Amino acid sequence: MEALRRIDEDDAFANLVLAKELDRLSLPSRDRRLVTELVYGTTRMRRACDHLVDRFVLEPPGAQARALLRVGAYQLLFTGIPPYAAISATVAAAPPRLRGFVNAVLRRCSDAVRGGADAISWPDDATRLSYPDWIIDLLVGELGRATALASLEAMNQAPSVTTRDDGYIQDLASQWVAVAVGARSGERVLDTCAAPGGKATLMARSGATVVAMDRYTHRAGLIRANAARLGLTDRIEVVVADAQRLPFGTDGAVGTGTVARFDRVLVDAPCSGLGALRRRPDARWRIEAAAVERLAELQREMLAATVPFLGDGARLVYSVCTMTRAETIAIDQWLRDRYPNLEPVAGPPPEGAWRPWGRGWLVLPQDAGTDGMFLLQLEWNPT
């Protein structure tokens, strides 16, 4: 309840709050799993839970009652927990002054969901699937209703965990992106948005030298820690810098001499993250519609900044964990118009469950149980 209160009232990040509360509580592992499911699930399905509850309250409940009713409704709607157990445990977590109220409302909710979540009459898809209107409207408009709703439904499930053979936990679609860079032994690779280093470490394992950049010092520290843990410090050079203004001068060292060229450049740009909502249960309530175009502008600037550093035949890879047109196809079109020398790489499709998307590739969350991801592989061919 404390975690839910902080996520809701203080706008705290769900993963950070939950980790802190779990540390404090030292619960056995199955209780940790249950707490995680209740906090993440209730946060994710907040809008659907409120819809159920709001039919049985006369005025909006205060913050504490709201959190209790949500977690109760979540259990009734979306878990296999028997209703009597869900209600009595939730009532037991309430302060004495709220117990009667929480009990009465949850009993009525329980009656209403006896036929399961499908028995409820939902006013619209956004309420049923528990997303803000703008996300539903945008994706339905851009992907079509059936495809968009399948993506959004898939992202209401907890993510699967994929562990690489070196022990690093990384979503499969992210691994496909790192592989699509095609780094080879002896090459110089620039990863401009590299923290925490998932793709950088995978690329470095090929024997390439990776310059792994991130704007934020504390995040660059995560790359260093991951490189050290995986025994890759010799092949990963961590640089703290802004990808919109690359710090390479002209001799390959930071700041001076002839132009530093790279064989491959990965721009794994900050994005709206609409393909990775499984992983961040509170993200859907945090992102704003206006951020999409702002991020697309940032993505364009980051891509443009890399062009002077592409050697002849160098590969430029752009990826984002989202599927908005502005951050995928429109970026591709912009690059095509502005840099005719950047051509799609020849050869077979990249490894993974990709579908063609512009000159690049898209994987949706429902396609292969991964995050939704866009990938564009281009080659610098000066005429």
Ligand X SMILES: C[S@@+](CC[C@H](N)C(=O)[O-])C[C@H]1O[C@@H](n2cnc3c(N)ncnc32)[C@H](O)[C@@H]1O
- Please identify every residue annotated as catalytic: 321
- Taking residue 231's Cβ as centre, other Cβ atoms within 10 Å add up to 12
Nearer to ligand X, 156 or 306 (CB): 306
Least separation in angstroms between residue 296's CB and ligand X is: 14
Least separation in angstroms between residue 54's CB and ligand X is: 36
Q: Please classify residue 115 by burial: count the beta carbons closer than 10 Å to its beta carbon, then call 0-12 exposed, 13-18 middle and 19+ buried.
A: exposed
Least separation in angstroms between residue 45's CB and ligand X is: 25
Closest C-alpha among 106, 109, 89, 42 to residue 70: 42
Strand partners, 335: none
Least separation in angstroms between residue 295's CB and ligand X is: 10
Nearer to ligand X, 84 or 216 (CB): 216
Closest C-alpha among 274, 272, 267, 317 to residue 293: 272
- Cβ-based neighbours of 177, under 8 Å, separated by 6 or more: 199, 266, 268, 317, 319, 373, 375
Nearer to ligand X, 75 or 174 (CB): 174
Q: Which residues here bind ligand X, judged by CB under 6 A?
A: 174, 192-199, 213-216, 219, 242-244, 268, 270
- CA distance linking residue 362 with residue 373, whole number of Å: 6
Least separation in angstroms between residue 263's CB and ligand X is: 18
Query: Quick check: 321 and 289 in contact, CB under 8 A?
Result: no
The two structure tokens encoding residue 87: 């209600």
- Cβ-based neighbours of 62, under 8 Å, separated by 6 or more: none
Nearer to ligand X, 1 or 222 (CB): 222
DSSP 248: B
